[in-house]
């Protein structure tokens, strides 16, 4: 299993069900790069998914929102890099 694959798999599943979750917003953030890797990600319309994700994290716990956001982005990038390398 690739690093971060659990988040991406859940995000793809949530997107297919039209659910806005932390994972689905993360997949939308990675949409351009993930599309180049062959994933079918719908285009985001309206407010940037980055802003929605941060706001969702802040609503859960405003003190840790910044560090959690950065950790999620690092996991997304790890997944993208592993996918590009064919790991």
* pLDDT value at 87 more than 70: no
pLDDT band, very low/low/confident/very high, at 4 (cuts 50, 70, 90): very high
How far, in Å, CA of 56 to CA of 54, rounded?
5
If one counts the domains in the chain, the total is 1
Q: Identify the domain containing residue 26 by its residue range.
A: 5-85
Average pLDDT over residues 14-42: 95
What's the whole-model pTM score? 0.92
Band (pLDDT 50/70/90 cuts) for residue 55 is very high
38-46: long-range contacts, CB 8 A cutoff, minimum separation 24: 39/12, 41/12, 41/15, 42/15
C-alpha distances in Å from residue 53, one per residue of 30, 38, 85: 12, 23, 27
pLDDT above 70 covers a percentage of the chain that reads: 99
Confidence of residue 1 (pLDDT cuts 50, 70, 90): confident
């Amino acid at each position: 299993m690739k690093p971060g694959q659990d988040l991406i798999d859940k995000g793809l599943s949530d997107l297919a069900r039209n659910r806005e979750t932390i994972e689905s917003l993360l997949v939308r953030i990675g949409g351009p790069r993930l599309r180049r890797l062959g994933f079918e990600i719908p285009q985001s319309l309206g407010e940037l998914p980055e802003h929605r994700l941060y706001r969702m994290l802040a609503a859960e716990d405003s003190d840790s929102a910044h560090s959690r956001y950065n950790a999620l982005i690092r996991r997304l990038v790890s997944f993208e890099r592993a996918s590009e390398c064919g790991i």
